[in-house]
């Protein structure tokens, strides 16, 4: 099944200032989230950004916050976004059955969010190169568990090319610099 821009939303989980420096390959994950957010904005894909316990983990990384100008931000205390009151209703209100899921940490908040989204009936696409943990082992275990539960594991380029659907369009030319 392809990820369709008119059927999907982007959910970025907890890319926060105090957490990011401790994350294995965190800079690469942030860079791929920036590509996804920029493309989502250009292609009309709704974006949502969660922030876990801002008082303790700090706000969203400034570059992500700047790229997510059209995104809806929400703070949470539950590890799973779906455990936070009102979040499932907010996501369902977008009328998009597919969720492109990214973030930190893969084995905690991303995993629990992905499982919650699957349980709520969403089709979940976890972007492996935009998802990270403090250790590669925890990330790999989270991705394996999400795959076993029914999520598709994809790359940021898979998402971008599936959202685009074809070359030679204005959207393709606008997003291409983010791919190169």
Q: Is 14 tagged catalytic?
A: yes
Q: CA–CA separation, 55 vs 113, rounded Å?
A: 21
Q: CA–CA separation, 160 vs 41, rounded Å?
A: 12
Q: Which of 6, 18, 65, 76 is catalytic?
A: 76
What is the pairing mode between strands 152-154 and 47-52?
A: unpaired
Q: Is 109 tagged catalytic?
A: yes
Q: Is 81 tagged catalytic?
A: no
What is the pairing mode between strands 123-132 and 98-104?
A: parallel
Give start and end residues of each alpha helix (H) in 111-167: 111-119, 136-149, 156-164
What is the number of other CB atoms lying within 10 angstroms of the CB of residue 157? 14
For the chain, first and last CA: distance in Å? Answer: 25
Q: Which of 14, 18, 81, 180 is catalytic?
A: 14
Q: For tokens 């790359």, name the residue.
A: 155
Q: CA–CA separation, 73 vs 87, rounded Å?
A: 11
Cβ within 8 Å of residue 21, ≥6 positions away: none
Q: Which of 65, 109, 140, 152 is catalytic?
A: 109
Active site residue ranges: 14, 76, 109
């Amino acid at each position: 099944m392809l990820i369709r821009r008119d059927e999907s939303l982007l959910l970025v989980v907890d890319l926060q200032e105090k957490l990011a420096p401790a994350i294995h390959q965190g800079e690469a994950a942030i860079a791929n989230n920036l590509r996804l957010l920029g493309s989502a904005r250009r292609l009309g894909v709704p974006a949502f950004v969660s922030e876990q316990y801002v008082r303790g983990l700090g706000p969203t990384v400034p570059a992500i916050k700047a790229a997510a100008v059209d995104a809806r931000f929400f703070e949470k205390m539950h590890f799973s976004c779906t455990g936070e009151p009102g979040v499932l209703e907010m996501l369902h209100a977008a009328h998009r059955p597919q969720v492109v899921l990214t973030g930190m940490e893969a084995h905690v908040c991303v995993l629990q969010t992905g499982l919650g989204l699957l349980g709520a009936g969403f089709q979940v696409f976890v972007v492996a190169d935009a998802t990270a943990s403090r250790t590669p082992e925890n990330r790999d275990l989270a991705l394996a568990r999400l795959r076993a539960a029914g999520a598709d594991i994809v790359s940021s380029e898979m998402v971008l090319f599936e959202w685009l659907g074809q070359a030679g369009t204005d959207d393709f030319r606008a997003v291409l610099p983010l791919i190169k």
